[in-house]
Amino acid sequence: MTPSTLSCRRSIQRRASRGRVAELRSDMSDLLLQQVASTPKCPVTGIALPGNVHVAGLSHHTADVSVREKLAIPEHEWKAQAALLSSMPAIDEAGILSTCNRFEVYYVSHDTEAANEQLMDFLQNKSGLSSNDLSPNLFFHDGEEAIKHLLSVSSGLDSLVVGEGQILSQVKNCAAHGGDEEGSFGKVLGKLFNVAVSTGKRVRSETGISKGAVSVSSAAAQLAEMKIQEDLGMKFEDARIAVVGAGEMTRLLITHLASTKAKRPLHIINRGRERMERLSEMFPDVEMELHTLDEMWDQIGEADIVFTSTFSQDPLVDKASLIDHPRKDGKKLMLVDISVPVNVGYDAKEVEGVAAYHVDDLKQVIDANKEKRMAAVKEAEKMIESEIRDFEGWKQSLRCIPAIKMLREKGEVIRQKELKNAGKVLNGLSQKERDTVDRVTKGIINKLLHGPMAHLRDPEDISDHVEKKLSMVQKMFQLDALEAHILPTSEEKSKKKKKTAQAA
């Protein structure tokens, strides 16, 4: 790497680490200019090759919530952290997806080993965990497996609650952050996430996977119903319920509680009143009492069940705070926490009379839900396989586009030359007759070239076959060597767009 490239990357890393995304534009444009020369080129066409797709991270399948919370990144930081990743020497494009059940980094690279090493440094710095502690919890996929993973995630197949819809919205948000002017997506991740969103929609509309599906929030309510007799010795409909937080997870929780015999009013606790009032307007038939955060401990003291779902980076309730706020007459308490990072400390259950549950405790509710959806899962997997083939075909076609363009250009050059040679004859024709000749000759060229161009676009061929086809077409049609400066690469097109936006 040249000193100027290294300097540019360090500047990007400093700005990204401070969250100064708007100031990354000029640095990223400079870096794109330097990357064009260093990106591997196709030996036949001379154009930049698309990098390989990778995904690394951890989820409810591989890591406990105690590990997941150490890597959790709030959505407003996704863009800046992705910019930091894409500034690393071996990473060309990057996107971050961080939810209560997963933390995943999607990235494009031409050097898998170097990219993975740089990513591990990022993850260790972010989590504060050593490689030995972090590695057993991580998964790495590349190529087709990485593509399949994202499509499974967006379709709800990889969710803790199979078929739940919230993950598709989160994938959409990731696509929006990565694809805007300041995002870190390029051509490959931009296309892949568009495919992921459309696949997620298609799976939900064409299979029964989301029919009757529960969300994490509704699973939490069902867990409370299952455990209340054992933990509190009372019926669910007699329990006073408090909910700390007023975001999307709380909305889903209220949606479920509204369909049950849950005792009214529900007591909603949040830092500000605006979100709570919005929830109250959304559920006019559900009686609620709204409380600000300074009333939290009074409400916890009165409640039988407390659900927590906030963006707090530190526990709101733990063993020490429960001891500092003793409950009257030894009244028992159930805490159900669906936040990551956790809102309820792991030591809360050590307090006598307190039962505490976290996201990972929902699995017993979710397993029953999963069994009902196995047929829909199989249907969805077939759709995903089809989408993977189409995406791989599109990716392969990127290296064929310059050859197709040159075929068209050569055909047009020959057509114009022959028309010029026949100029004396054509000059004697009427304008209508000349238009007919023009249309007919264009049609002949298009029909002659249709077969070769369709052959080049064939998505079924593997990379080696694509190179052979390109070489064959070049020889057959006597195409000149294709050079990057003649036919712009995707990187150069991206650079041009960024420069245009900056000038505007």
Phi/psi for 317 (5° steps) reads -130, 130
383-398: b or e for each residue (b if 16 or more CB lie within 10 Å)?
bbeebbeebbebbbbb
Residues 255, 258, 263, 265, CA torsion sign: positive
Q: Alpha helix locations (H) across 110-237?
A: 112-127, 131-134, 144-154, 166-179, 187-206, 216-232
Is residue 100 annotated as part of the catalytic site, yes or no? yes
Residues paired with residue 170 on neighbouring β-strands, in sequence order: none
d(C-alpha 12, C-alpha 185), whole Å? 15
Token pair, residue 465, equals 């076959």
How distant is the alpha carbon of residue 370 from its chain centre? 23
Instruction: Exactly one of 8, 42, 100, 174 is catalytic; name it.
Output: 100
Phi/psi for 54 (5° steps) reads -135, 155
Q: How far is CA 445 from CA 426, 429, 458, in A?
A: 19, 22, 20
338-353: b or e for each residue (b if 16 or more CB lie within 10 Å)?
bbbbbbbbbebeebee
Token pair, residue 253, equals 């929780």
Angle at 198 between CA 194 and CA 204, to 5 degrees: 150
Token pair, residue 73, equals 């990144």
Closest-CA residue to 54 (of 225, 183, 189, 170)? 189
Active-site positions? 100
